[in-house]
Structure 1
Amino acid sequence: MHAHEAGALHSDGYSAAPDWLPWPTDLNALEPELWPRHTTRDADGALSLGGVDVRDLAKEFGTPAYILDEDDFRWRAKEFKRAYDAAFAPVCGGADVFYAGKAFLTTQVVRWLVEDGLNLDVCTGGELAVAIRGGMPGERIGLHGNNKSRAEIEAALDAGVGRIIADSFDELDRIVEIASARGVVAPVMVRVTAGVEAHTHEFIATAHEDQKFGFSLAGGLAYKACERILAEPSLRLLGLHSHIGSQIFETSGFELSARRILGLHARVSRELGHDMPELDLGGGFGIAYTTQHHPLGPDQLGTETAEIVRRECQAEGVVAPRVSIEPGRAIAGPSTCTLYEVGTVKPVELDGGGVRLYVSVDGGMSDNIRTALYGADYSCALANRASEAPPQIARVVGRHCESGDIIVRDHYLPADVRPGDLIAVPGTGAYCRSMASQYNHTPRPPVVAVTDGRARVIVRRETVQDLLALDVDASV
């Protein structure tokens, strides 16, 4: 058991806390790094998001709901564009930022990206359709995916996408066949598994050899893919693509990956006589879900990565290609929090005499699967009022029929949290709505954008009628 200077009053609750979770000196205070930039508390202690009181948001739009700070989202997007352009200007004339649509994508998000000068990475036909509907020019779209269908490749070529990231020889055959039939030349990048595994969860570390993505450097497969592309009149080799994982907090992994990727880049130039004009280093930049996370900002990421590319290109004796990155989570994640209403509060006695509050809310793993799927950690706060009650270790859980239906595994809440209270969970902008499901036939929550005291729905709440509309009833 942990000991605490406050003594027996707090010792039971504190015993259940993980080592990384600090004892809160003020439960009403907000950690700025965890919340959208325009998050405040008013005189009553209620949270305000983008200038809108969460009590008003809950009343007008219901709960659960994803609340997106529009100004925060767009500020982060523009900061990545500015920082990387500045850092890479002396290396290769600037850098391109491809927002990773898998993190969170709507037509409104696409319109913001278009206006703010970012490009867009998509990995399915559905994401491509959203990109086109949102007005993203085809040349600013990249198509990912390890098993692209014929229909997806056809749609990408018809849209004039700027890059197709090839993932296998079977896929190259497919692209050649379709491009030849259309009489077009497909711009292709080779996804390379560089054998570098970022320090992250094994399910989302994507550059080690034993996995489904890309052409391995081992055995020369990536080099052979470049040979194959250069031999096909219907393909144009743009460059190499690498992705080393997600939720990354340092640039050392990019250094080793860039060294290996640029080694291949130089070999293709020397042996095949082709100077590839582009290089995509992927993304995976981490964000602060809890106080244990300390992400790097765009300026530091850009400066350190640019120096890595400059140094490795100099060592290989090649001209630096145009660099691009894909910071989906780092833009969307911190810009959104999820608002829930408490339904039940259950104190549970633990081995050793401790007590944990199980705080059940009206959402769960259907709107945030990451805790159950990855063991992800989140923070939370009592959102509708201030409290002078002592801290109590709590677990915020959902309403689904699974014991693993957990949203926030460990966090302190006021001991007087009660049914009807609002709980806000920050850092839910990336992957939560994208991976949301209708488990237990639960309609998915809306996405509400807030800015300058105004709120508007950009993705409406699903209804029971939406659920029934897909159900084919032979008796009708």
Structure 2
Amino acid sequence: MTHMHVAGAIHADVSSPGPQWLERPADPNELDAALWSVTTKRTADGVVSSGGIRVTDAVEQFGSPLYLLDEQDFRTRARDFRDAFAGWTVYYAGKAFLTRTIARWVDEEGLSLDVCSAGELATALDAGFDPARIGMHGNNKSLGELATALEAGIGRIIVDSLDELDRIVGLCEANDWHAKVMVRVTPGVEAHTHEYIATAHEDQKFGFSITNNQAMVAMVRCHYDPHITLLGIHSHIGSQIFDTGGFEVAAKRTMKLLSQFTDATGTQLPELDLGGGFGIAYTNQDSPSTADELAANLREIVEHEAHGYGITEPKLSIEPGRAIVGPSGMAIYTVGTVKPVDLEGGAQRVYVSVDGGMSDNIRPALYAAEYSATLANRASQADTMLCRVVGKHCEGGDILVHDVFLPADVHPGDLLAVPAAGAYSREMASNYNHTPRPPVVAVNDGATQVLLRRETLEDLMALDVGK
């Protein structure tokens, strides 16, 4: 079983149009519990439901396409990480998905919050989230973003460059502010994930290199600046990571750096953030670790490295990333066209076109990310056929699900549900082809709550101020 997404070409080998890992399901109506939120099931008449809400009823009320977010699942996963990492600080990743309601859930479940833009910070502050429990990332934070963060008194700014450090010091000097910071380092770990979401190797835009001494220079400068309190080191090796192997190398190198800093300054820094980016199951090829497994392994790694370097174990923090909100969400689409295409060698692929696409989920086009899908408005006893679920946009790469077995009687008007759509779907959505973005509706115990309403054509036209 692989521990990373397939990142192949858009078009599979025509002699074998499906990937080797994809198996024809014995029962296409069965929902793999590893892919769906804890309350998702099929009702007696075959309709998929989540949080006690049938997808057919949700589409009738809110339209299609649509994101549903399972509140119970979200809170359960947040608690799982909070409890597994008791004694550590767990930061929810606002970049995965953030609204004022989400910020409130995060607060109520006792997690801290990581933001990386003015919009995310404004959402958190407007929701009444305690600034002392907010951290701010970003490789190119503007003066305005930094000023808002410093004035609000957020708990930590993750410094990513010397230019940013100059901006922070200048703002503090001009406004009599004081900054609490962590220095982001690149430990040189090649995470087993897609190139675009691996963030700890040397040749990329984030952080200070440990190997060429950039990190130590930044840390010493922060340490001796009267306007700054240096809390510690931040490391992040990537996203959609399934085990702790890479973290062992990152911990070894960051703990060594902490030890070297103590030797150079006589001060031991109190905190270390190992990042996170823990993976989730998008298809049955994925096998993510549980929060308990991750916590046990990371605790052992940190304890071993601290002992090895003869230093006190620092206060630890992590950022689970998509692992909290990703599995809580599903995307619902309506089928518009079903088109069989004959391939060379006698193979056939069926293109199932839906009313969304790369404007509401860019990940398959951007990362060649793999997803699953199921017929959601009914059960079917038909044989299955290999399908490619595609969007409505004017791009050949507008693919939502590269390969999936669907019932052969799938037809226009059917609903398809795509699991694991809670993270980086609506958050990365665009208005490509002037397409309004779908709404996000939370479901819980038979009730619905709109978190983000559907955009309208009037919304788009309001931005166009030309004549």
Which range, TM-score by smaller chain? over 0.9
Residue aligning to 1:207? 200
| Deviation for aligned residue 1:456 | 1.8
| Deviation for aligned residue 1:274 | 1.6
CA distance in 1, matches of 2:23, 2:15: 9
| Deviation for aligned residue 1:161 | 0.4
> Which AA in structure 2 matches 1:26?
D
> Which AA in structure 2 matches 1:53?
R
Structural mapping, 1:142-291, within 5 Å: 142-291=135-284
Structural mapping, 1:373-412, within 5 Å: 373-412=366-405
CA distance in 1, matches of 2:335, 2:442: 22
Asked if structure 2 preserves the Cα contact closer than 8 Å seen for 1:14 and 1:392, the reply is: no
Structural mapping, 1:312-461, within 5 Å: 312-461=305-454
Matched, 1:84 2:90: no
How many pairs does the alignment contain? 454
Residue aligning to 1:43? 44
CA distance in 1, matches of 2:297, 2:320: 15
Asked if structure 2 preserves the Cα contact closer than 8 Å seen for 1:241 and 1:279, the reply is: yes
Over residues 433-467 of structure 1, what are the superposed CA-to-partner deviations in whole Å (9 max), with x where a residue is unaligned? Answer: 11000000000000010010111211000000000
| Deviation for aligned residue 1:473 | 2.2
User: Counterpart of 1:269 in 2: which secondary structure?
Assistant: helix
CA distance in 2, matches of 1:463, 1:345: 27
| Deviation for aligned residue 1:183 | 1.3
Asked if structure 1 preserves the Cα contact closer than 8 Å seen for 2:97 and 2:423, the reply is: yes
Alignment equivalent of 1:129, drawn from 122, 141, 146: 122
- 5+ residue gaps, structure 2, are 1-13
> Which AA in structure 2 matches 1:347?
P
CA distance in 2, matches of 1:25, 1:230: 61
User: Counterpart of 1:219 in 2: which secondary structure?
Assistant: coil
RMSD value, Cα: 1.0
> Which AA in structure 1 matches 2:447?
R
Matched, 1:310 2:310: no
Over residues 382-433 of structure 1, what are the superposed CA-to-partner deviations in whole Å (9 max), with x where a residue is unaligned? Answer: 0000101101000000000001000000000000000000000001111111
| Deviation for aligned residue 1:202 | 0.6
Asked if structure 2 preserves the Cα contact closer than 8 Å seen for 1:99 and 1:326, the reply is: yes
Residue aligning to 2:55? 54
> Which AA in structure 2 matches 1:271?
A
CA distance in 2, matches of 1:116, 1:133: 18
Asked if structure 2 preserves the Cα contact closer than 8 Å seen for 1:66 and 1:336, the reply is: yes
Report the TM-score when normalising by structure 2.
0.96
Residue aligning to 1:65? 66
Asked if structure 2 preserves the Cα contact closer than 8 Å seen for 1:206 and 1:244, the reply is: yes
User: Counterpart of 1:268 in 2: which secondary structure?
Assistant: helix
CA distance in 1, matches of 2:117, 2:53: 35
> Which AA in structure 2 matches 1:342?
V
CA distance in 2, matches of 1:458, 1:262: 41
| Deviation for aligned residue 1:15 | 4.6
Asked if structure 2 preserves the Cα contact closer than 8 Å seen for 1:146 and 1:167, the reply is: yes
Asked if structure 2 preserves the Cα contact closer than 8 Å seen for 1:114 and 1:135, the reply is: no
| Deviation for aligned residue 1:184 | 2.3
> Which AA in structure 1 matches 2:68?
I
> Which AA in structure 2 matches 1:21?
L
CA distance in 1, matches of 2:460, 2:291: 41
CA distance in 2, matches of 1:406, 1:245: 24
CA distance in 2, matches of 1:60, 1:356: 33
Report the TM-score when normalising by structure 1.
0.94
| Deviation for aligned residue 1:328 | 2.1
> Which AA in structure 2 matches 1:361?
V
CA distance in 1, matches of 2:450, 2:185: 39
Matched, 1:74 2:67: no
Over residues 289-329 of structure 1, what are the superposed CA-to-partner deviations in whole Å (9 max), with x where a residue is unaligned? Answer: 00000000000000100100000000000001110011120
User: Counterpart of 1:314 in 2: which secondary structure?
Assistant: helix
Over residues 227-252 of structure 1, what are the superposed CA-to-partner deviations in whole Å (9 max), with x where a residue is unaligned? Answer: 10112100111000000011111101
User: Counterpart of 1:218 in 2: which secondary structure?
Assistant: coil
Tell me the percent identity: 59
Asked if structure 1 preserves the Cα contact closer than 8 Å seen for 2:151 and 2:177, the reply is: no
| Deviation for aligned residue 1:270 | 1.7
Bigger mean CA offset, 350-359 vs 191-200: 350-359
Bigger mean CA offset, 202-211 vs 350-359: 350-359
- 5+ residue gaps, structure 1, are 1-12, 86-93
